[in-house]
Amino acid sequence: MTNGSDFSDATALALLNGHCDTPFGFLGIHPSDEGFALRVFQPGAARLTAVFKESSVALTEHAPGTGLFSATIREAAPYILHACSEDGTEWSFEDPYRFGPVIGEIDEHLFSEGTHQRLWHILGARCITHEGCQGTAFAVWAPNARRVSVVGPFNHWDGRCHVMRRRGATGLWEIFLPGLGEGTHYKYEIVGPDGQTLPLKADPVGFGAQHPPETASIVRDITGYGWKDGAWMQGRGLHNDRAAPISIYEVHLPSWKRVIEEDGRALSYKEAAVALVSYVRHMGFTHIEFLPLSEHPFDGSWGYQPVGLFAPSVRHGPPHEFRDLIEAAHAADIGVILDWVPAHFPTDAHGLAQFDGTALYEHADPREGFHHDWNTLIYNFGRREVANFLISNALYWLEEYHVDGLRVDAVASMLYRDYSRSEGEWIPNAHGGRENLEAQALLERMNTLAYGSQNGILTIAEESTAYPGVSAPVEAGGLGFGFKWNMGWMNDTLAYMARDPIHRKHHHDQLTFGFHYAFSENFVLPISHDEVVHGKGSLLEKMPGSRADKFANLRAYLGFMWGHPGKKLLFMGQEFAQPNEWNHNTSLPWDVLNDPAHAGVQRLVKDLNHLYRTVPALHCKDCVPEGFEWIDGSDADRSIVAWLRKGSARDAPVAVICNFTPIPREAVVVGLPQTGTWHEIFNSDAEAYGGAGVGNLGAVEANGPGAHGQAQSARVTLPALSTVMLCPSRPSD
């Protein structure tokens, strides 16, 4: 390699062989003994002319067919190059090597110390005006590379043409390519430390990508959208607070609803902005949670094996159209939560694996860097540049796309070094323990910066262990998440519901145990996509008994869930009792809504959401023990549970009573805290929901003697396999 400023034979040979790593040292304009030397590498050109403002200079080719040209000029001034090939084809272009650096010293410093919160402002492919010229600034981190080039159709994918500028010890490489803009396809050609040229790499901070299975990045101008959701953004904290009703509709956008008339294609972002948003609003959900929408090569990963963390998936449209979807949700008073995957990444050759010929983003040792469960790689959370990359990506979605929250996937796998590993397959931390201290620090910092920089957002952890303080503030020793999925509640209660009712009395604790720790974290009760895949069947299929019993069990369970302390999450399709396991390759079976039983479950979920949103006792103290009081949790023989949900002193309480046997119970004594009429505000056995219509004729009278530690009591009819809710005041419409 050469670092000299002369155009020697050695320099020429390095350029022609693709071994040159310092092209800015001699290409472009440089001082010479005779004034200035202008040097250009343009393969395919037979003649080359530099056109200045008031003159032009013909360049001389170093040797025939090399594409290496030079000329002596009197002054360093802007110029345009005009080329002509042997067959007479002509073209003009700006010389990238006449432009200075784009990345500033402060950005370099912040990047080096791992504290640059907006990496997308310096990395990736950014459409800018630089030194008076419009084009695209490319920048990438590849500290161990010998050479990095931008390649694409604009240079015939020739890595010799646009070799990037190395930025000192930072490991950054950059180049400004004038004339390139929106829609340009590109990749990085990287020569590793051993001199081998790697498979072409997509841009880790690229804002767009080709539709899989194609793998190139695409230049996308993500500036200048013109948001109109200011009112929502200002007040969204009220929608995301612990005291707010949060009912989440979890969506895999490619399979929510397909356009059957057009070969079953997925909806675009703009189509979803109408169809999905209007449906979610009609159903009364407060938030949409999308399975990952960052770019991923394999459809079957559902987005959980992302390659382009900064690129909204092109499967549904370009970035601005994703913004259209979010803005439409905000206009409908619906929050948007995005699944975010910092736990692992796939091994695809065009992705982050061995990015610069070394284990750059991942750990080199598979005991730390490889997930056996998913055959994916694990980020090196302790490397400051990698941690910075991930944290900046979280902030990117919150800031650039106005996403209201992040649900962080697979947190348990991040927190423990021995997660799903046998003895000898993992490396202890510096203290000899199993905790992943680096991952813990990353999550703490991500939450601190997210909550500190973005008004009113929320973060949610999918964490399945007893790790303490997941949703506690960082300053109090927690991880700083706003909420945590309650996986224990989900596993226990679904196992209970799957049992034949005759055996449920022997497993009553599976129903009640979740109440004992319901306030140890800020919990979300999740019936997620993970519960309706891989042979687990749909929620309806999990229920025992005849078809009618399955529907009754499901309706009772949903009532139990909505009456239980904690925020709610339901995966798409379960709101209308999807009959079969979810298939990501096809649309949800919307036609089943022609069946009154399925339509009844859909109406039930809609009504539950309405109650949850309008009755303060059902939501405002979801996460504190003051919002809950047992009436009776010990009636295992009859599989009955009853409790109170309470709000502030001025809010009417709600009694939730469940009967999980197929036997109707009449005149069941239920203790209640106050006398008078208690309205039946919900009954899962209502005919409108597909039930038998057994109930309490709209109300019961609390005029009996005290019971269950309450001052009064009422005699309540409990339909078979049902949940009933009573309240001394009617909810508002």
Residues 6+ apart with CB under 8 A from 639: 501, 504, 505, 508, 511, 659, 660, 661
For 674, the 3-state DSSP assignment is coil
Dihedrals φ, ψ of 533, to 5°?
-140, 175
Q: What gap in Å lies between CA 331 and CA 334, rounded to an integer? A: 7
Of the candidates 479, 358, 504, 498, the one whose C-alpha atom is nearest the C-alpha of residue 408 is 479
Q: Catalytic residue numbers?
A: 409, 462
Question: Using CA atoms, how far apart are residues 64 and 83, in angstroms rounded to an integer?
Answer: 15
The H or E element spanning position 105 is helix 105-113
Residues 6+ apart with CB under 8 A from 616: 647, 648, 651
> Within 10 Å of residue 488's Cβ, how many Cβ atoms?
15
Instruction: Give the Cβ contact number of residue 129 at 10 Å.
Output: 10
For 366, which DSSP code? H
Helix axis angle for 596-614 and 547-563, nearest 10°, is 10
Distances (CA, A) of 135 to 132, 176, 219, 220, 253: 10, 7, 10, 12, 34
Count of alpha carbons within 13 angstroms of residue 187, beta-carbon side: 21
Cβ atoms within 10 Å, residue 449: 18
- 551 Cβ contact list (under 8 Å, min separation 6): 540, 543, 577, 597, 600, 601, 690
Radius of gyration of the chain (CA): 31
- The conformation of residue 29, written as its DSSP 8-state character, comes to E
Neighbours of 701 (CB within 10 A): 14
Contact 225, 323 (CB under 8 A): yes
